[in-house]
Amino acid sequence: GAGVSQSPSNKVTEKGKDVELRCDPISGHTALYWYRQSLGQGLEFLIYFQGNSAPDKSGLPSDRFSAERTGGSVSTLTIQRTQQEDSAVYLCASSQGQGRSAEAFFGQGTRLTVV
Amino acid sequence: AQSVSQHNHHVILSEAASLELGCNYSYGGTVNLFWYVQYPGQHLQLLLKYFSGDPLVKGIKGFEAEFIKSKFSFNLRKPSVQWSDTAEYFCAVNRAFSGGYNKLIFGAGTRLAVHP
């Protein structure tokens, strides 16, 4: 695709409900990242995929958070039993290959609000 | 803890003033360094990057950054800012891990406001 696409762009959910956030990376990009952006907190690393496997899940805040990637392409970030502190912008990025110099391209993000 | 530190959270400048945003990282070994910019309402985009060679890197829109290995720093500079440079700027470090993968770690960001 032309760029990284995330959906939905905005999501308002009630506390305790589950949500799924979707990321469509740039076609052919093998690496995929999820980050969380909160006001004044910068970009918090959540999880990294290389192909369909996730060698680094260290940033997931709790066991309510999970992510998967299928076919080396689309990724879904799932938050179960959402809490108000989960409110943030969730960003997805993809890059080509594993090289350290590979540029990461970002989507517009999903703004999640838990009420 | 391994981290990326940006010293200024908010910077306010007048047009034509010079800009320098600090970035320090705490990783040893070989790293690649990036500055990303997020204009209001837009997605993050790459401003410039360093991975080898000349430590003075030039990016888009007149920005440059200097990698000083001994200081673990990668400060962003621009001689004369414009109102359109109003944005949030993120420093990032990409380093390799023993599992054969890389992780891109970001600083907290610096919000720059340029007044006409």
Query: Is the model more confident about B74 or about B105?
Result: B74
Residue B50, classified by CB atoms within 10 Å of its CB into exposed (0-12), middle (13-18) or buried (19+), is: buried
CA-to-CA distance for B67 and B77, rounded, in angstroms?
A: 12
User: A35 to chain B: which residues are within 8 Å by CB?
Assistant: 106
Sequence-separated contacts (24+) of B83-87 with Cβ below 8 Å: B83/B15, B83/B114, B83/B115, B83/B116, B84/B114, B85/B19, B85/B61, B85/B112, B85/B114, B86/B39, B86/B40, B86/B112, B86/B113, B86/B114, B87/B37, B87/B38, B87/B39, B87/B40, B87/B112
CB-based burial, B14-33: b 16+ in 10 Å, e otherwise: eeeeebebebbbeeeeebbb
Q: Is residue B62 predicted with pLDDT exceeding 80?
A: yes
Shortest CA gap A18–chain B (Å) = 26
**What span, in angstroms and rounded, lies between the C-alpha atoms of B63 and A51?**
34
Of B30, B44, B101, the CB nearest to A98: B101
Chain A contact for B51, CB < 8 A? yes
Contact: A50, B104; criterion CB under 8 Å = no
Token look-up 């997931």 returns A60
Q: Which of B45, B48, B102 is the best substitution to test chain A (most A C-beta atoms within 10 A)?
A: B102
pLDDT-wise least confident of A73-87, A95-109, B49-63: A95-109
CB contact under 8 Å between A100 and B107, yes or no, is no
Q: How many CB pairs under 8 A join A and B?
A: 67
B27/A contact by beta carbon, under 8 A: no
As a whole number of angstroms, the distance between CA B33 and CA B5 comes to 13
CB A83 within 8 A of CB A114: yes
How far A6 CA lies from chain B's nearest CA (Å)? Answer: 11
Rounded CA-CA distance A41/A35 in Å is 11
Sheet containing A65-69, strands listed edge to edge, beginning at the edge strand earlier in sequence? A5-7, A19-24, A75-79, A65-69
pLDDT tens column, B22-55: 999 998 777 889 999 999 989 899 999 998 889 9
Whole-angstrom distance between the N-terminal and C-terminal Cα of chain A?
34
* pLDDT score, position B63: 97
In angstroms, the Cα distances linking A103 to A18, A60, A87, A97, A100 are 32, 23, 27, 10, 8
**pLDDT exceeds cutoff 70 at A100:** no
Q: Is B3 on the interface with A (CB under 8 A)?
A: no
Q: Are B25 and B72 in contact (CB under 8 A)?
A: yes
Q: Are strands A31-38 and A42-50 parallel, antiparallel or unpaired?
A: antiparallel
pLDDT of residue B11: 96
| pLDDT(A107) > 80 | yes
For residue A97, the model assigns a pLDDT of 66
